[in-house]
Amino acid sequence: MSWSSPGGPGRLAGDGAVVARAPAKVNVHLAVGPLRSDGFHELRTVYLAVSLFDTVTVRPGDGLSLTVTGEGTTGSGADAVPTDRRNLVWRAAELLAEQAGVPADAAITIDKSIPAAAGLAGGSADAAAALVALDALWGTHATRGELTALAARLGSDVPFSLLGGVALGSGRGEQLSPVLARRRWDWVLGIAGEGLSTPVVYAELDRLRAAGRVPDGGELSAPDPVIAALRSGPVPALAAALGNDLQPPALSLRPDLRRALRAATSAGAVGALVSGSGPTVAALAEDEDSAVRLTAALAGEGVYRTVRAVHGPVPGARLVG
């Protein structure tokens, strides 16, 4: 990897702050293959970046420090957001500094709107935003390709959080091909009370497969129908093509999600699925007005902790201001 020599700080506000934000994602198609020898599953997924953003602010500092604020931080157990080296942002900072040969000096604040452990790739969004912000703060001038390579080392979803839009992901999800989507898609995200741990959901999938209770994943279902529908619609075509192999294990671990899915379709969603490893339910709306009505209806149901209308595709991690 070639790095240009540090060229001094990038875009700085008055107090030396650099701000970046990155979006949440919904997997509109998620096919999971059998467990590989490296402990990962082979995936074929279609990511859609949606308009729920975390913001990462970085300032000059002495060593690394990390503060986490915002509504996406509440919870315990799988929901808990660490503020030390276990945070993906901390690892992103160390990795960028090491690769660029600069000291890892920054005071970092993550303002979380994306709930943790919700299947929305909040941690990945934070890592992607941190890479972009710190590259500017430290003047490391990494190319997008270099940042993407670092992103892939941090986690399977981090490259997509950088790229945004719509993309087909393979491998662990980190090998991306952008997909053209000509229209806007409106969704309502129903965020359940407590988070689900992604490794626990994969382990439950393996268990259900070993017991013969779900198909073994030997043949990954093709993403073509979802890609064709995403390109131009109509909305019911996308609804019919939605699919997530992690939905059965998420439902097995959290049976209350069945009610949450039913509530979405009864309230007028054209289709609904569990997002990634859950427990967020992504409900597809006919258009923006329908999404507003659906949000109000679902907020009154009491099956979700939070209900948010979002749309996609939106761009990936970007500097703000």
Residue set of the binding site for ATP: 115-125
Nearer to ligand ATP by C-beta: 114 or 267?
Answer: 114
| Residue 120 touches ligand ATP, criterion: CB under 6 A | yes
Residue numbers in the known binding site are: 115-125
Kindly state whether residue 140 participates in binding ligand ATP, applying the rule CB under 6 A: no
Query: 213-217: long-range contacts (C-beta < 8 A, 24 or more apart)?
Result: 213/248, 214/245, 214/248, 214/249, 216/34, 217/31, 217/32, 217/33, 217/34, 217/41, 217/245
By rule CB under 6 A, what count of residues binds ligand ATP?
23
190, containing H or E segment: strand 185-191
In whole angstroms, what is the distance from residue 35 CA to residue 43 CA? 10
Considering the complex, what minimum distance in angstroms separates the CB of residue 244 from ligand ATP?
11
- Residue 157 annotated in active site: yes
CB of 71 to ligand ATP, least distance (A): 13
Report if residue 244 touches ligand ATP, rule: CB under 6 A: no
Position 87 contacts ligand ATP (CB under 6 A): yes
**Mode of pairing for the β-strands spanning 106-111 and 306-312:** unpaired
Which single residue is written with the structure tokens 């839009």?
165
Binding-site member from 165, 248, 249, 276 for ligand ATP (CB under 6 A): 276
CA 215 to chain centroid: 26
Of 58 and 235, nearer to ligand ATP (C-beta) is 58
Which of 12, 17, 35, 78 touches ligand ATP by CB under 6 A? 78
Please indicate whether residue 25 is annotated as part of the active site: yes
CB–CB of 70/109 below 8 Å?
Answer: no
| Segment (H or E) for 177 | strand 175-178
Q: Which of 124, 140, 148, 247 binds ligand ATP (CB under 6 A)?
A: 124
> Crossing angle for the helix pair 88-100 and 144-154, nearest 10 degrees?
130
Instruction: Give the catalytic positions in this structure.
Output: 25, 157
List of residues contacting ligand ATP (CB under 6 A)? 78, 80-82, 86-89, 110, 116-124, 126, 157, 198, 276-277
